[in-house]
Amino acid sequence: MSVFAVWVLSICLLLVQGSPVQKSDGEPVPLVIWHGMGDSCCNPFSMGAIKKMVERQIPGVYVLSLEIGNSITQDMENSFFLNVNEQVARVCEQLAKDPKLQQGYNSMGFSQGGQFLRAVAQRCPSPPMHNLISIGGQHQGVYGLPHCPGEVSHICDWIRKLLNSGAYTKPVQEHLVQAEYWHDPLNEEAYQKNSIFLADINQERSVNESYKHNLQKLQKFVMVKFLKDTMVVPPDSEWFAFYKPGQSIDIVPLQNSTLYTEDRLGLREMDKAGKLVFLGVEGDHLSFTDEWFNENILPFLH
Ligand X SMILES: *[C@@H]1O[C@H](CO)[C@@H](O)[C@H](O)[C@H]1NC(C)=O
Least distance to ligand X, CB of residue 214, Å: 8
Q: Is 107 a catalytic residue?
A: no
- What are the residues whose beta carbons fall under 8 Å from the beta carbon of 6, sequence distance 6 or more? none
- Residue 126 or 210 having the CB closest to ligand X: 210
Binding-residue total with ligand X (CB under 6 A) = 7
Count of all residues that appear for the chain in the document: 302
Q: Is 2 a catalytic residue?
A: no
Catalytic residue among 229, 236, 237, 257: 229
Least distance to ligand X, CB of residue 102, Å: 20
Single out the residue of 35, 51, 118, 123 in contact with ligand X (rule: CB under 6 A): 123
- Residue 153 or 256 having the CB closest to ligand X: 256
Q: Is 271 a catalytic residue?
A: no
Q: How many CB atoms lie within 10 A of CB 218?
A: 22
- Residue 126 or 256 having the CB closest to ligand X: 256
Residues 175-234 within binding reach of ligand X (CB under 6 A): 208, 210-211
Single out the residue of 146, 171, 253, 299 in contact with ligand X (rule: CB under 6 A): 253
Of 86, 87, 83, the closest CA to residue 35 belongs to 87
Least distance to ligand X, CB of residue 256, Å: 4
Q: How many CB atoms lie within 10 A of CB 82?
A: 18
Catalytic residue among 111, 134, 195, 257: 111
Query: Which run of H or E residues covers position 165?
Result: helix 153-166
Catalytic residue among 35, 130, 183, 285: 285
**CA atoms of 278 and 225, how far apart (whole Å):** 8
- Residue 88 or 224 having the CB closest to ligand X: 88
- Residue 95 or 135 having the CB closest to ligand X: 95
Query: Which run of H or E residues covers position 296?
Result: helix 290-296
Q: At 283, is the secondary structure helix, strand, or coil?
A: coil
Instruction: Show the binding pattern over residues 60-79: x = contacts ligand X (CB under 6 A), - = does not.
Output: --------------------
Is residue 182 a contact partner of residue 173, using CB atoms and an 8 Å limit?
no
Single out the residue of 29, 84, 218, 252 in contact with ligand X (rule: CB under 6 A): 252
Least distance to ligand X, CB of residue 29, Å: 24
Range in contact with ligand X (rule: CB under 6 A) among 33-41, 163-171, 178-186, 252-260: 252-260
Question: Which residues does residue 280 pair with via DSSP β-bridges, in sequence order?
Answer: 225
- Residue 52 or 244 having the CB closest to ligand X: 244
Single out the residue of 256, 258, 261, 287 in contact with ligand X (rule: CB under 6 A): 256
Q: How many CB atoms lie within 10 A of CB 150?
A: 7
Is residue 178 a contact partner of residue 170, using CB atoms and an 8 Å limit?
no
The b/e string for 40-64 (b: 16+ C-beta within 10 A; e otherwise) is bbebeebbeebbeebeeebeebbbb
Q: Residue 126, interface with ligand X (CB under 6 A)? A: no
In terms of Cβ atoms closer than 10 Å to its own Cβ (0-12, 13-18, 19+), residue 144 is middle
Q: What amino acid is encoded at 87 in this protein?
A: Q
Residues belonging to the active site? 111, 229, 285
Q: Which residues bind ligand X (CB under 6 A)?
A: 123, 208, 210-211, 252-253, 256
